[in-house]
Chains A and B, each alone.
Chain A
């Protein structure tokens, strides 16, 4: 599958999950691209092909989306609650993308894990893609999907 098609699928999955489960809409190309501490979730999947997905989200945005998801105030949430929601976000985006890319293959997704920010997604990975490097009032999210056989891969960044 061409990378551009995978990229489009990844984008659709991110938008679909954010809209339906977090009631957020992606925006494109805000001018003020800022960065900050990020929370990174990583999960592997087995199937044909096997691979992994990495999701990075700015820490402030992670707390806000967790609050939306759980119906709580951002300041009331523990680090663990925020981490649980980021892992669930990665899980849903991965499952959604895989089902769109390989609809006839059954994949087994491992439980997402929070990893060190050093394992996040670099600017180099998302450059040249149809990404939107930005950090709006909501936040920034980057998603990268890779397969061990290089059957397909893509990385993208969104603001919401």
Chain B
């Protein structure tokens, strides 16, 4: 089974890197959608369904924290697992975002395997 993933990050370079790493890691990816902040992601999710979301925190406009909050109160969207990718490794930040519904938290810098593992664990993909 191949999955549809949405990458939310204000840095085009980071979105490109994450997409490339997912592909190179061997993760079964069918479609990779991108958004520059939380609002763009919500607009996109009105017309597209994805299996998982990878989101940054610090973004202009609707940031990652508010984006997770909006997802958590939407009956349909809250079922989509969201994984945070951030440079912020402070414990209180991680706990706060997990309490908002994040299913995983990856700290930058990260190894490609960490991204694949987080996606597969979140999606319940059986180990190869």
Contacts and interface: CB of A to CB of B under 8 A. Distances in A.
B17 A103 contact: no
B49 interface: no
Interface string A50-82: 000000000000000010011100000000010
30 contacts: A19-B109, A20-B110, A21-B17, A21-B109, A69-B13, A69-B17, A70-B20, A71-B16, A71-B20, A81-B13, A87-B11, A88-B11, A91-B87, A92-B87, A92-B108, A92-B109, A95-B86, A95-B89, A96-B108, A96-B109, A99-B87, A99-B89, A102-B90, A103-B90, A103-B91, A104-B90, A106-B88, A107-B88, A109-B87, A111-B10
Contacts of B108: 17, 21, 92, 95-96
A99 B90 contact: yes
Contacts of B90: 99, 102-107
A20 B114 CA distance: 11
A63 B65 CA distance: 33
Nearest to A18: B109
A94 interface: yes
Contact of A16 (B13, B91, B109): B109
B89 A103 contact: yes
Nearest to B93: A106
Interface in B95-128: 107-111
Given A85-B13, A111-B60, A20 B109 contact: yes
Interface of B: 10-14, 16-17, 20, 58, 60, 86-93, 107-111
Nearest to B111: A20
A141 B53 CA distance: 33
A77 to B, nearest CB: 10
Interface of A: 16-17, 19-21, 66, 69-71, 81, 84-85, 87-88, 91-92, 94-96, 99, 102-109, 111
Contact of B91 (A69, A104, A109): A104
A12 to B, nearest CB: 11
B52 to A, nearest CB: 21
Given A96-B87, A99-B89, A107-B88, A66 B58 contact: no
A18 to B, nearest CB: 8
